Chains A and B, each alone.
Chain A
C-alpha cells in the first residue's frame, strides 16, 4: 500500500468517520457562502475606528444587497465634554448629509447618586421635517477618560425608491455629571430617494475614539 493511501486512511476512524485532524479552516476556505438559513443573520461589511476624527462616514456598501443595515457604535468618546453624538443621512453618496427627517425621542436617566430618575419624552431631540443632525444620545456625552456612548442604529431598506426609510436607535451613555442615560430614537427619512451614505459626528469637536461597525442583515 502506498504511503499516500495509508496517510489518507489514517484520516478516518475505524468506523470510517473523517477525523477532525483531517479538516481545518483551509479545507473550507473555498466556501464563501452557505445556503440560506445556515449561519448568522449579521454580515460585517465595514469597520471604522475614530481617532481624532471630525466624522465617521459610511459612503459605500449601503445598497439593495441587504434589506436592512445595523450600525453598532462602541465606546464613542468625544474630544469635548457634553456634546451630542449625531447621525445624518445622504442620498448623494455623501456629498450632502441633509435628508429630511421626522423622529421621536425619549430617554431614561438615572444619576449615580440616586437623586435623579426619570423617563421622559425629549422634545428638544426630535426632528419635524428637518434636515439637521439627529441626536443619538439624548444628553451630551462626557469626555472623561472612561466615558463614552454605545448602542446601535437599525436602518431599514435604505435603497427603496418607493418608501420613506425608517430607522431605530437605542443607546446608553454616561454623561459628564455622573448620569446613566438610555436613549430611544426612531423615525424616518422622508424621502423616496435611496439612502446611500450615513454620517456619525459629534456636535462639536472630534470623535477621539470609538468603533463603528456596519452590518448587513439577511
Chain B
C-alpha cells in the first residue's frame, strides 16, 4: 500500500469512521456556520493580564452582547469603563448620554439602598462610561456583567446600549448597577474599548457575541 493510501486508511477506524485524532481545530477553519448551532454567535474574547485596555472591532451584527467575567483591577477603588470609536480605534470619544442607578448592600448589612447616581451618568459627554461602582482590588474582588449594544453599524440612528453589572465594592459592599444610554451619533461605531479608570485590568475575561 502506498504512503498516501496508508495515510488515508489510518485516518479512519476499521468501521470507516473518521477518527477524532484526525480532525483538530484547524480542520474546521473554513466552517463559519452550522445549522442548529444557535444564533448568538461567539465572535471574540480577550483575557486581561495586566492590560491597560481591551479593544474589540465591531461589525454588522444588529446586536452585540459582551460578557465580563471576573474583571479584577490592579488598583483599589476604580471604575471599569468603556468607550466607543467611529474611526477604527484612533479615538475613543463618541458623545454619549446615559442613565445610571444601582442597588447596594454592605457585608455588614449597611446600605440596602436603591438610588440614581447623577455623578456617573453622562450628558452629551465624550468621556468613558462607568459600568460599576468603586471596584475593590482585594484578591477575591472583581466585577461581572453584560453589555448589549444595538446596531452599531447604523448610519441612520443613534446607538443604544443596555448594561448590568455586579461588583465587589472596595469597602465590602455588593453593588448591582444598571446603565443604559446611547451614543449620540449617526456615524457607524467601529470599535469598543474597556479599561479601568486607573491602573491596569489585572485579570478577567471579556467575551463578545454577535446576535443574528
Given contacts A17-B27, A145-B156, contact A182 B178 (CB under 8 A): yes
Cβ-defined partner of B28 (8 Å) among A14, A23, A44, A181: A23
- With both beta carbons as reference points, the residue of chain A lying nearest to B96 in the complex is identified as A180
Identify the interface centre among B42, B115, B211: most chain A CB within 10 Å of its CB.
B211
Cross-chain contact A110 with B39 (CB below 8 angstroms):
no
Bitwise interface map of A from 162 to 193 toward B, beta carbon under 8 Å scored 1, else 0: 00000000111110001011101000000000
Establish whether residues B27 and A172, one from each chain, have CB atoms under 8 Å apart when the complex forms.
no
- Chain A residue nearest to B150 in the complex (CB): A150
CA distance A42 to B162 in the complex (A): 18
Selected interface stretch from B72-80, B85-93, B168-176, B179-187? B179-187
Say yes or no for A95: interface residue by CB 8 A criterion.
Answer: no
A23–B116 Cα gap in the complex (Å)? 53
Q: How far is the CB of B99 from chain A (nearest CB, A)?
A: 4
State whether the Cβ of A154 lies closer than 8 Å to any Cβ in chain B: no
B75–chain A nearest beta-carbon distance, Å: 28
At the interface, yes or no: B17 with Cβ under 8 Å from chain A? no
A75 at the binding interface (Cβ < 8 Å): yes
Q: Which residues of A contact B42 (CB under 8 A)?
A: 40
Q: Size range of the interface on B?
A: 35 or more
Per-residue interface assignment for chain A, residues 55 to 82, with 1 indicating a CB less than 8 Å from any chain B CB and 0 otherwise: 0000000000000000010110100000
Residues of chain A lying within 8 A (CB to CB) of residue B16? none
Tell me if B150 and A32 are in contact (CB < 8 A).
no
Are A146 and B178 in touch, CB under 8 angstroms? no
Expressed in whole angstroms, the minimum distance between the Cβ of B144 and any Cβ of chain A is: 18
Q: Tally of A-B residue pairs with Cβ under 8 A?
A: 199
Interface pair B30/A25, CB less than 8 Å apart? yes
Give the dominant DSSP class at B's interface. mixed
Residues of B within 8 A of A31 (CB): 34-36
Interface range on chain A (Cβ under 8 Å from partner):
35 or more
Residues of chain B within 8 A of A16, CB atoms compared: 7, 10-11, 21-22
Q: CB-defined interface of A108-148 with B at 8 Å, one 1/0 digit per residue?
A: 11111110011100000000000000000000000001111
Q: Pick out which of these stretches binds chain B: A5-13, A85-93, A97-105, A196-204.
A: A5-13
Q: Which of chain A's residues has its CB closest to B179's CB?
A: A182
Q: Given the interface contacts A111-B123, A182-B162, does A34 sit within 8 Å of B37 by beta carbon?
A: yes
The CA of A29 and the CA of B33, in the complex, are separated in Å by 9
| A74/B99 in contact, CB under 8 A | no
Most chain A CB inside 10 Å of its own CB: which residue of B41, B123, B181, B186: B123
Complex interface: chain B residues within 8 A of A145 (CB): 156
Cβ–Cβ < 8 Å partners of B32 in chain A: 25
- Distance (whole angstroms) from the CB of B130 to the closest CB of chain A: 14
Question: Is the CB–CB distance between B99 and A44 below 8 Å?
Answer: no
A149, A150, A178 — most chain B CB neighbours (10 Å): A150
Hey, which chain B residues are within 8 Å of A25, CB to CB?
30-33
Give chain B nearest CB distance to A32 CB in angstroms: 5
* B97 lies within 8 A of A112 (CB): yes
Binary interface profile of A, 39-55, with partner B (CB < 8 Å = 1, else 0)? 11111100000000000
B63: Cβ under 8 A from any A Cβ: yes
A39 contact from B38, B148, B150, Cβ within 8 A? B38
* Interchain CA distance A114-B121 in the complex, whole Å: 9
Q: Is the CB of A17 within 8 A of B99?
A: no
Query: How far is B23's CA from A110's CA once the two chains are assembled, in angstroms?
Result: 54
**A74 contacts B123, C-beta separation under 8 Å:** no
B12 to chain A, nearest CB (A): 10
Question: By the criterion CB–CB under 8 Å, are A112 and B118 in contact?
Answer: no
Whether B48 sits at the interface, judged by CB under 8 Å, is no
A-B interface, 10 closest residue pairs, ranked by CB to CB distance from nearest: A40-B38, A9-B4, A114-B123, A108-B99, A39-B37, A119-B116, A182-B180, A20-B29, A44-B39, A40-B40
